[in-house]
Amino acid sequence: TRRIGVIFLDLDRFTAVNDSIGHGAGDLVLAQAARRLRATVPVHDTVARWGSDEFAVLVENAGSPAELAELAERLVGAISAEPFRVAGQQIALTASVGVAQAGRDSGTPDHPDDPTGLVLRNADVAMSRAKEAGGDRAEVYAAHMHADVVRRLEIVTGLQRAISNGELTLQYQPIVELATSRVVGAEALVRWWRDGEVVAPREFLGVAEESGLIVPLGEWVLRQACAQGAAWRRASWDVGVSVNLSGRQITAPGFTARVAAILAETGLPSTALTVEVNERILVEEDGLIADRLAELHQMGVRMAIDDFGIGYASLAHLRQVPLDIIKIDPSFVAGLGHDDTLTLLTKTVVQVGRELGLRVIAEGIEQPRQLSALREMGCDYGQGFLVARPMAAPGVEALMRTEGVRTSGEAPGGPAKHEPNEPARLGM
């Protein structure tokens, strides 16, 4: 049997187009887009403008899912094949496209009188999935997508509560000078205590980012970590704290002022705060992010590039923001001692970092042979389960007191003891 099929199409980043060429010219682009879609869809099927930059295609007698998907792919191509020309300008656009069909692996019953509503919803869900995957593509609706949407909604409502109810906590993973075992800083890592179980950040950070909840969440993390860092420093430990930042947090209105206010409020010197940004953020070439990071750096805050080396950033990107620290991704460290290529790459990053005057921190040190390889190649700092796991703040204090981190394969409490009041040689 043939069934109703719906294709939903949303232009990617169209708001930016409107902002740059104006709404009048933006409308002309939309009209051209509509013509391209109309020319691609068979004459007996309907193309409708659905929202500002959204279109829906109703295929009344859809054949196989493969046929529908093929049409969807052609629509993606119709938008991206060549730039739009408006007011003497060329505008390259892409589209996110979702496909759904009544009664087909869609959780939609075949019989109801009006299955179109459900099919539309499903096509919309698939379209969002295409958008999340970066746009310029088509996705076919599958039943699990709906379950995903429900799960995300649950996370959003749960997280809202978590922030106000104090269900979030921070763990701190020590950052250690490899030669001496000295703890020079600690990275704050957020945890969510949900119904007595700890939820790892990767379970909820994506949803927090999409929903915008990352902004209040990130602010809470920053305030908490700065307060902790200030408390440690008052106890005469010259350590710094590192906080991870997401893109949306950095571009939120008033970001720089909020960081300054939190530093003032907690009494943490700006030079004792390190912010970590993923190298992906730098590649997106968002001028606003680079500007904001430069403002922080101007205030004295240290800048670290996180998960460096997994292929998004080139060395050229390292010059776009004022950097102080490179954190080598664990996938490199994992290969040390048995994978020649990874070993060579790690050695290169360590050398380049040195030559650029940057501090290099190796992440994910789990085995003694990785540790000795890193020392041999002159990597000065490290983090990892072998050295110390993420832990509650008192655990870090105990380590600072005893210098009990394992950086030599010896028992905890190893060689580099020093008095808590000893002036630190390094601060992060």
Task: Summarize as ranges the residues that interact with ligand C2E (CB under 6 A).
Answer: 173, 189-190, 200-202, 205, 218, 221, 244-246, 276, 306-307, 330, 364-366, 383-385, 390
> Under 8 Å CB-to-CB from 79, ≥6 apart: which residues?
9, 11, 33, 36, 37, 93, 94, 95
Query: Given the complex with Mg ion, which of 56 and 323 has the nearer CB atom?
Result: 323
Q: 3 pairs with which residues across the strands? A: 62
Q: Shortest gap between Cβ of 221 and Mg ion (angstroms)?
A: 12
Q: Shortest gap between Cβ of 363 and Mg ion (angstroms)?
A: 5
Query: Given the complex with ligand C2E, which of 30 and 217 has the nearer CB atom?
Result: 217
Three-class secondary structure of residue 14 per DSSP: helix
Query: Given the complex with ligand C2E, which of 79 and 321 has the nearer CB atom?
Result: 321
364 binds, among Mg ion, ligand C2E, none (CB under 5 to 8 A by kind): ligand C2E
Q: Shortest gap between Cβ of 186 and ligand C2E (angstroms)?
A: 12
Q: Shortest gap between Cβ of 89 and Mg ion (angstroms)?
A: 40
Query: Given the complex with Mg ion, which of 276 and 380 has the nearer CB atom?
Result: 276
Structure tokens at 277: 């940004």
Q: Shortest gap between Cβ of 187 and ligand C2E (angstroms)?
A: 6
| 306 binds Mg ion, rule: CB under 5 A | yes
Structure tokens at 335: 């290969």
Give burial (CB, 10 Å; 0-12/13-18/19+) of 334: middle
- Taken in order 25, 27, 28, 34, the sign of the CA dihedral is positive
Of 115-123, 148-156, 244-252, 290-298: span binding Mg ion (CB under 5 A) = 244-252
| 54 binds Mg ion, rule: CB under 5 A | no
Three-class secondary structure of residue 213 per DSSP: coil
Q: Shortest gap between Cβ of 20 and Mg ion (angstroms)?
A: 34
Distance CA 156, CA 138 (A): 26
Q: Is-contact 276 304, C-beta < 8 A?
A: yes
Closest listed residue to residue 343, CA positions, set 352, 331, 357:
331
| 244 binds Mg ion, rule: CB under 5 A | yes
Of 81-89, 216-224, 287-295, 307-315: span binding Mg ion (CB under 5 A) = 307-315
Query: Given the complex with Mg ion, which of 181 and 244 has the nearer CB atom?
Result: 244
Q: Shortest gap between Cβ of 195 and ligand C2E (angstroms)?
A: 19
| 279 binds Mg ion, rule: CB under 5 A | no
Closest listed residue to residue 282, CA positions, set 237, 333, 323, 234:
323
Maximum Cα interatomic distance, the chain, rounded to a whole number of Å: 82
One of 219, 238, 276, 380 touching Mg ion (CB under 5 A): 276
> Under 8 Å CB-to-CB from 215, ≥6 apart: which residues?
248, 249, 252
| 380 binds Mg ion, rule: CB under 5 A | no
Query: Given the complex with ligand C2E, which of 84 and 172 has the nearer CB atom?
Result: 172
The structure tokens 């990617």 sit at 12
One of 10, 54, 279, 307 touching Mg ion (CB under 5 A): 307
Q: How many residues bind Mg ion (CB under 5 A)?
A: 5
| CA distance between the termini of the chain | 67
Q: Is-contact 176 182, C-beta < 8 A?
A: yes
Q: Which residues bind Mg ion (CB under 5 A)?
A: 244, 276, 306-307, 363
